[in-house]
Amino acid sequence: MTVLLSCLAYLAGAVFLAGSVFRAAKYARTPVPLRWELYPIPRGAAGQIRYTLAEILLLRGVWQHNRKLWFRTWPFHSGIYLCAVSLVSLAAGFARFSEWAALAGLTLLLAGASALLVARIFDPALKPYTSPADFFNLGWFAAAAGIPLASFALELAAPATVWRAVLTFHPVPPLAAAGVVLASLLVAYIPFTHMVHFVAKYFAYHKVRWDDRPDAAVAAQLLYTPHWSAPHVGADDAKTWAEVAGASPSTEKKS
Amino acid sequence: MSPDRYSALTLPQPKTPGEERALVDAFRSGLEKLFRREDNWTFLRPLLITVEHCVRCQTCAEACHIFTGSGRQEIYRPTYRSEILRRLYFKYVRHKRWQGAVELDWKTVSTLAELAYRCNLCRRCAQACPMGADNGLVAHELRKLFSQEMDIAPKELHAAGSLVQLRTGSTTGMNPAGARDCFDFIDEEMTEKTGIPIKTPWDVEGADVLLIHNAGEVLSWPENPGAFAVMLTAAGVSWTLSSELTAYDAVNYGLWYDDVQFARVALRQIEAARKLKVKRIVIGECGHAHKALTVIADRLLPSDLNLPRESCMTLMRDLVLSGRLPVDPTRNNFPVTLHDPCNVARLMGITEAQRDVLRAVCPDIREMSPNRTENYCCGGGSGFALMSGKNFLDWRLEVAGAKKMEQVLAAFEGSMDPGILKYICAPCSNCKGQFRDLLARRGLWKSNRIFYGGLAELVVNAMRDVKPGFLEWEWR
């Protein structure tokens, strides 16, 4: 059982990495779009890094445009960051710091996920736009944060200590093990949901919003064959996009 | 079938279940194409990011002038139409459950068709989105689906718009001979008004500047192209207009609803410039034409067609600030507020050139708040200023234009006395059309003497070499 739990944790990490790379590759492989930038564009690498860090760490956009949500979503996100920091510092040998980071992270995550869940259930602006998957995901986050905290309270199993045990193939108490299972499955599941927006955001900002470069890479895309059916397009399943754009509007209905 | 009591489109009304099925099937076919690289390479990447990653946090809602201007009606929330599309995408393209219920029937399809035309595509919502999702793009893509797959588009933009432009040379229906006649008339007017002999040059090979106006200006506000002729003549710029089809009309309505029509017009405009061997193209005071030809067309152009394209704002700044056009700002001694056209400001980043010009020619500038890249759309964007439909005019003036009028009135606060002439500087033809209708609907010219016009007119009104009184303050 101990070995299985440890293998699950490592496997989840691998799936997370592979899934994230897969998702990034999916967007990277989409055709280069027409220019569609949005201003102001932060100038230079330093400007873009500053903007990105403020966006990731402080959720600046939400702070500016949706303060009420920020008080729910910032704890949620910073909780995730602290849990990640805890794992890294554990690996780096900072055990005491790792423990505090994990406890703080899990507490913030539980608070944030619960607050977001409550908002999704009761806020009339959010409720109609919340799918069953959203409730499920937030509930999962809340459980994945709450169970290790319960284990800490009931089994005296400190979260970072639990993870050190799991990652070194040592046994952990039952509730702590349940928390590890939930967290591992969640980590493996994230890349296959919209929650992988940390990947999408890179493309949204760097490859759309801020991408004001002319780009010759579309030359190959002009050779794609469009299949649109409206008569004026004049697509006949043979003409390329360039040929369609170079022709006058057709009046013949596509057969 | 309209989700509100307004109508932008003349939608087919299926008479039998079979007709209804055919329309719904056509929509579904278009939906699939919207997410296929061969059919929609132009915007697939931002569209996928938006539908797959919008977390529906509603952060964008308060940024939308239509949502707030409507009294926060749910159907105008930026995510409303996007959420329908998102659910359809997951259900019918990705075949995934758990992403929310949706039925694909004629009611859903016709609702989406109309709602695609309840967004100005100003993308202020996208600017507010921390995720980088773009609900304005969703409206654009829905319009494309309806046009390119189902042949459904507002007649003002398509049948009487881009199709007419490609056939006759201009969306106004003006052929090249007609355009030249109009400019002959404008030249005479300008010569008489300014005291400077004006003769608009046509088809001058190797000119430094090919100027392309929105042809609507020629018919509705001829003083604007006239003012450009005066400025360029007085400054000794080597310039020309082109009489090639589509190249004497900068508009490109395809930008708002149809990638194919967009590309056709842009390629013809650039080809005309290449034939004339001009050094650069300068786009007149038309916001969407700015973005269409300089930004959106950019990656479509092979290297031999990728000629320098420039905004008239920077050209005017160069002429005024270099001293080539000596000006006396006291001639514009009245309050002026500047409207930032979304296409020029938020979508191209041009915010300071027009202000540099204004500061040089106007002593009393009243900034709207917010402004520059955070401006609000006038409510006429994405073709709405051209569209009146059955009762669409009411919607664009009462709902889409409400926020902008608030801004204008706030900018002129303290100067509403009808004894004080006031000027909304709107360097964009569409925006001017919307301001004309907004001011007329509210009677603000008659009761408070709020007028509207372009930037070039203010420059010429301030030119020392021009007879005083270029601005006539006559309502049109």
pLDDT mean over B357-379: 98
User: Does B372 have pLDDT greater than 80?
Assistant: yes
Question: What DSSP character marks residue B400?
Answer: I
C-alpha closest to that of B268 among B287, B257, B254: B254
Contact B212, B228 (CB under 8 A): no
Query: Chain B: nearest CA to A82, how far in angstroms?
Result: 21
Contact B116, B62 (CB under 8 A): no
pLDDT mean over A224-240: 97
User: Does B287 have pLDDT greater than 90?
Assistant: yes
The pair of three-digit structure tokens given for residue B189, joined into one six-digit string = 């007017």
Residue A36: C-alpha distances to residues A23, A97, A211, B45, B371 (Å): 22, 44, 8, 11, 21
Task: For chain B, positions 70-99, list CB contacts with chain A under 8 A.
Answer: 74, 79, 83, 87, 98-99
The pair of three-digit structure tokens given for residue B244, joined into one six-digit string = 């090639």
* Residue in A with minimal Cα distance to B83: A129
- Chain A touched by B63 (CB under 8 Å): yes
Predicted pLDDT of residue B304? 85
User: Does B476 have pLDDT greater than 90?
Assistant: no
Mean pLDDT of chain B: 97
Contacts of residue A130, Cβ cutoff 8 Å, sequence gap at least 6: A120, A121, B56
Residue pLDDT, tens place only, B319-329: 999 999 999 99
Q: Assign B317 a pLDDT band (cuts: 50, 70, 90).
A: very high
C-alpha closest to that of B264 among A227, A236, A245: A245
Predicted pLDDT of residue B389? 77
A193 contacts on B by Cβ (under 8 Å):
none
Query: What is the C-alpha to C-alpha distance for residues B338 and B358, in angstroms, rounded to an integer?
Result: 9
Q: Is B210 helix (H, G, I), strand (E, B) or coil?
A: strand
Report the residue count for chain A.
255
Predicted pLDDT of residue A250? 82
Query: Chain B: nearest CA to A18, how far in angstroms?
Result: 19
A219 contacts on B by Cβ (under 8 Å):
302
Query: Chain A: nearest CA to B81, how far in angstroms?
Result: 11
Q: Is B376 helix (H, G, I), strand (E, B) or coil?
A: coil
User: Does B1 have pLDDT greater than 70?
Assistant: no
The pair of three-digit structure tokens given for residue B340, joined into one six-digit string = 């930032």
Contact B98, B91 (CB under 8 A): no
Question: What DSSP character marks residue B300?
Answer: G
> In this structure, what is the dihedral angle of CA atoms B57, B62, B67, B71, given to the nearest 10 degrees?
120
- Chain B touched by A139 (CB under 8 Å): no
Cis preceding-peptide flag for B302 (omega within 30 of 0)? no
SS (H, E, C) B225-269: HHHHHHHHHHHCCCEEECCCCCCCCCCCCHHHHCHHHHHHHHHHH
Query: What is the C-alpha to C-alpha distance for residues B340 and B356, in angstroms, rounded to an integer?
Result: 13
Query: Chain B: nearest CA to A213, how far in angstroms?
Result: 9
User: Does B289 have pLDDT greater than 80?
Assistant: yes
Element (H or E) spanning B386, and its range? Answer: none
- Chain B touched by A119 (CB under 8 Å): no
Q: Assign B2 a pLDDT band (cuts: 50, 70, 90).
A: confident
C-alpha closest to that of B36 among B89, B86, B81: B89
Burial of B266 (0-12, 13-18, 19+ CB in 10 A): buried
**B41 with A33: Cβ contact below 8 A:** yes
Query: What is the C-alpha to C-alpha distance for residues A229 and B57, in angstroms, rounded to an integer?
Result: 36
- Strand ranges for B256-407 from DSSP E: 280-283, 309-311, 336-338
Query: Chain A: nearest CA to B288, how far in angstroms?
Result: 13
Who among B37, B62, B83 is closest to A30 (CB)? B37
**A194 with B33: Cβ contact below 8 A:** no
Q: To probe the interface with B, which of A29, A32, A36 has the most B CB atoms within 10 Å?
A: A36
Residue pLDDT, tens place only, B242-276: 999 999 999 999 999 999 999 999 999 999 999 99
Residue with token string 């087919």:
B12
Contacts of residue B275, Cβ cutoff 8 Å, sequence gap at least 6: B244
Q: Do β-strands B422-425 and B280-283 pair in parallel, antiparallel, or remain unpaired?
A: unpaired
User: Does A229 have pLDDT greater than 70?
Assistant: yes
The pair of three-digit structure tokens given for residue A129, joined into one six-digit string = 């736009």
Lowest mean pLDDT among A144-153, B97-106, B157-166: B97-106
Residue pLDDT, tens place only, A64-95: 999 999 999 999 999 999 999 999 999 999 99
Predicted pLDDT of residue B415? 98
pLDDT mean over A137-157: 98
Residue pLDDT, tens place only, B136-155: 999 999 999 999 999 999 99
Contacts of residue A112, Cβ cutoff 8 Å, sequence gap at least 6: A72, A73, A74, A75, A76, A77, A78, A79
Query: What is the C-alpha to C-alpha distance for residues B110 and B152, in angstroms, rounded to an integer?
Result: 10
Q: Assign B444 a pLDDT band (cuts: 50, 70, 90).
A: very high
Cis preceding-peptide flag for A40 (omega within 30 of 0)? yes
A39 contacts on B by Cβ (under 8 Å):
345-349, 351, 373
Mean pLDDT of chain A: 96
Query: What is the C-alpha to C-alpha distance for residues B413 and B31, in angstroms, rounded to an integer?
Result: 48
Task: For chain A, positions 170-189, list CB contacts with chain B under 8 A.
Answer: none
> What is the percent of chain B with per-residue pLDDT over 70, rounded to a whole number?
100
Residue B67: C-alpha distances to residues A38, B70, B74, B120, B349 (Å): 21, 5, 8, 11, 25
> In this structure, what is the dihedral angle of CA atoms A82, A85, A91, A96, given to the nearest 10 degrees?
-60
**B348 with A33: Cβ contact below 8 A:** no
How many interface pairs between A and B have CB atoms less than 8 angstroms apart? 204
Query: Chain B: nearest CA to A241, how far in angstroms?
Result: 8
Amino acid at B180: R
C-alpha closest to that of B255 among B171, B330, B367, B360: B171
Residue pLDDT, tens place only, B101-129: 899 999 999 999 999 999 999 999 999 99
* Residue in B with minimal Cα distance to A36: B296
B33: number of Cβ within 10 Å: 20
Q: Which domains does chain A have, with CATH numbers?
A: 2-209 (1.20.950.20), 220-246 (no CATH)
Contacts of residue A242, Cβ cutoff 8 Å, sequence gap at least 6: A222, A223
**B100 with A36: Cβ contact below 8 A:** no
Predicted pLDDT of residue A126? 97
Q: What is the ipTM of this complex?
A: 0.95
Alpha carbon A185 to chain centroid, angstroms: 15
Predicted pLDDT of residue A216? 65
A84 beta partners: none
Element (H or E) spanning A31, and its range? Answer: none
Query: What is the C-alpha to C-alpha distance for residues A73 and A92, in angstroms, rounded to an integer?
Result: 29
The angle, 0 to 180 degrees and rounded to 10, between the axes of the packed helices B135-150 and B106-115 is: 120
Amino acid at B355: R
Query: What is the C-alpha to C-alpha distance for residues B178 and B245, in angstroms, rounded to an integer?
Result: 12
User: Does A255 have pLDDT greater than 70?
Assistant: no
- Chain A touched by B352 (CB under 8 Å): no
C-alpha closest to that of A228 among B126, B161, B30, B58: B30
**HSE-CB for A58 with a 13 A CA cutoff:** 9
Q: Assign A252 a pLDDT band (cuts: 50, 70, 90).
A: confident
B476: number of Cβ within 10 Å: 11
Predicted pLDDT of residue B195? 97
Predicted pLDDT of residue A233? 98
